[in-house]
Amino acid sequence: MITQTIKKAGLAAVLAGTFLAGNTLFAQKELTVDMSETIAPIQPTMYGIFFEDINFAADGGLYAEMIKNRSFEFTIPMMGWSQPNSDRHSYNNESGYALPVKYFEGEGNLNFLRVQVKNAEGYELHNEGFRGMGIKEGDTYRFTFDAKQMEGAVSAVKAELLDEEGNTIAEASIPVSGSEWANYKAEIVPSKTVMKGSLKLTFEGTGELGLDMISLFPTDTWNGRENGLRKDLVQLLYDLDPGFLRFPGGCIVEGRTLARRYQWKKTVGPVDERPSLVNRWNTEFDHRLTPDYYQSFGLGFFEYFQLSEDLGAEPLPILSCGIACQFNTGELVPMDELGPYVQDALDLIEFANGSTDTPWGKVRADMGHPEPFNMKYIGVGNEQWGPEYIERYKVFNEAISEKYPEIIIVSGSGPFPDGDYFEYGMKELKEIGAEIIDEHYYRSPEWFRENATRYDSYDRNGPKIFAGEYAAQSVAIASPDNKNNWETALSEAAFMTGLERNAEVVQLTSYAPLMAHAEGWQWTPDMIWFNNLESYGTPNYYVQKLYSTNKGTDLISVTQNGEDLVGQDELYASATLDSEAKEVVLKVVNTSSDAQEVKLNFKGKSIKNKGKVIVLKEENLTQENSFDAQEAISPSTEEIKVKGDSASYEVAPYSLNIIRIPVK
């Protein structure tokens, strides 16, 4: 292709194989794509999803429940609820008053609400939702609650959905009766779309009524499940075609203290019996204090396995190794008390894969999934470090390997990609014979561009690598000013050519964190942003999507003058064969401000005379996607023509290019 830019450079430059782009005189790049032999298989797990309940990603996000604190289990039991016509320091004779009451001490659903209605015309009970409630006109919402009559004759509960001004946009009246707990439900259809709606409850009659598990779900959840997930958010995940789903997160696994660690057994079984827990991110950062951030565990381990199945992704659960988050207390369970933690791991494998004749297999079956989930991976610890981690990991490794030798165990190298913690962890884990080591890196865009060769020198016979958490930080780690801009996404794209080029070693990769509520976030950057009504993928999302949906099946080489393209003239490249689609797939990233002409020479197989190029580009490195411009940076597709065994293509400035050409 002779571009307009080349024409301007003059015939002599063309004949010399150079062209002028911007202010730079670049030689035309001749790249050799060798299809004669494959280097390594691209694992189906190569590109996956890391999910953590940070940034209101579960309650208030992926989990479609719209009521905050639906069973009054927060540390402050009435958090999220208000009684606008009542005064706690009054008898409230013209309205009424509600107080939380304990069923019993222990764990589970401990509290219910005793509502005393003295004047049905005056008493109201409101729930604010998660930064409001996103309500859509014409959609159906399922309102449910548990109730029992205690004294007097409260005979009905009236539920109203309100807009931001307090106007009623949907309502239903549900009769209640009897002194025993019973479940009640109604379906309501709003007449208006609002971003920050709320729920208002009023009552017919006077007296005392017990209320619990007050819930509001859209009926249009993912796969229509009643205890379901928000459809638009799952769709964004589904569109990634992920190879795995890692859950329930990173630091949330560990907890600030061991008592507040994530315990999977408390997240399965009947939803109304799962105990709530304060989220470990609720007051982690002074810049984003969120004391109302709790985990209801309506989205629990069963639902994570179910979601993995829906997405066609391998489930990859991560469990506590007996160390609380070392950025917080670093609390250790004594080695002689580690048994229950190890048993949790063994029982989880039984829950996921065991027959219905086993205790935990029966729990899974009772929840509606008698077939095993066929879990292949389990992670021990998140990003712990030091001798304390290694000695605990060894115990898990021995116990799991002995009882379930087919399970692949994922270990961790700590929170950083270099330094003392990393070097010690890698050395010890290699000596143990670890199968897969999880590495994390939150670094600058420059670091990502400079580290495209990171895995070139890794031992091909050593442990495999899981790049489990990574994201380019535009400002600094944990800064509230980090942006999901094009520079970060493009730098990740350049780095990912190095991940793919080293598929012999790197077998799983995932960006982190996954999701953030526009008004409930704690950490930036994040791959997907959402509010109560909408969601969108960032430029980083589209980079991940293009890699995942164009991964191919087998790694092949692409070189310039016999060398890998790892940043020479700011160009990066990797290549695969897709045996299913019968195509060669080339990824070329240009991190320079200039267009660059490449000539692709294909050898080893014959190719057809045209293919396609999926391009993700933007000349403004600070550009972001937003709710108002959700696809400001998004892929476009164009044609590429082939002559014989070669093709020429102009690689746009600041671009990721996926070149797919059918093989004969």
239: domain CATH number is 3.20.20.80
Domain contains 496: yes
Residues 311 and 426 in one domain: yes
Given this model, what pLDDT does residue 24 score? 56
What's this model's pTM, rounded to 2 decimal places? Answer: 0.95
Domain edge (last residue) among 165, 193, 218: 218
**What amino acid is encoded at 514 in this protein?**
L
Calpha distance 209→211 (Å, rounded): 6
SS3 state at 664: coil
Inside any domain, residue 15:
no
pLDDT at 332: 98
pLDDT at 3: 36
DSSP strand E in 302-425: where?
A: 314-319, 377-380, 408-412
pLDDT at 107: 76
Q: Does residue 21 form part of some domain?
A: no
Query: In this structure, are strands 133-135 and 168-175 parallel, antiparallel, or unpaired?
Result: unpaired
Distance separating alpha carbons of residues 320 and 412, to the nearest angstrom: 12
Count of structural domains within the chain = 3
140 inside domain:
yes
Asked if residue 336 and residue 274 are part of one domain, the reply reads yes
Give residue 12's pLDDT: 35
The pLDDT, as a whole number, for residue 392 is 98
Closest CA to 533 of 100, 130, 97: 130
Confidence at residue 563, expressed as pLDDT on a 0 to 100 scale:
98
- Could you tell me if residue 69 is inside a domain? no
Same domain as 241, residue 116: no
Residue 382, token pair as written in the block: 């998140």
In terms of domains, do 87 and 139 share one?
A: yes
For the record, the structure tokens of 236 come out as 């964004």
| Dihedral sign computed on CA atoms, order 535, 538, 540, 546 | positive
Query: Is residue 150 domain-shared with residue 277, that is, in the same domain?
Result: no
Segments of the chain scoring below 70 in pLDDT: 1-26, 106
Amino acid in the structure at residue 360: W
Residues with catalytic roles? 383
Domain boundary pick from 218, 248, 279: 218
**Shared-domain flag, residues 227 and 214:** no
Same domain as 643, residue 626: yes
- Residue ending a domain, among 538, 572, 587, is 538
Cβ burial, residue 114 (10 Å; 0-12/13-18/19+): middle
Report the pLDDT value the prediction gives residue 26, as an integer from 0 to 100.
Answer: 65
* d(C-alpha 78, C-alpha 71), whole Å: 9
CATH at residue 126: 2.60.120.260
Structural domain boundaries, residue 576: 29-42+555-662
Q: What is the pLDDT of residue 25?
A: 54
Q: 368 and 316, same structural domain? A: yes
CATH value at residue 34: 2.60.40.1180
The verdict on 229 and 356 lying in the same domain is yes
Same domain, 634 and 574: yes
Does residue 193 form part of some domain?
Answer: yes
Would 119 be classed as within a structural domain?
Answer: yes
Q: In this structure, are 366 and 490 located in the same domain? A: yes
544 in a structural domain: no
Identify whether residues 287 and 436 lie together within a single domain: yes
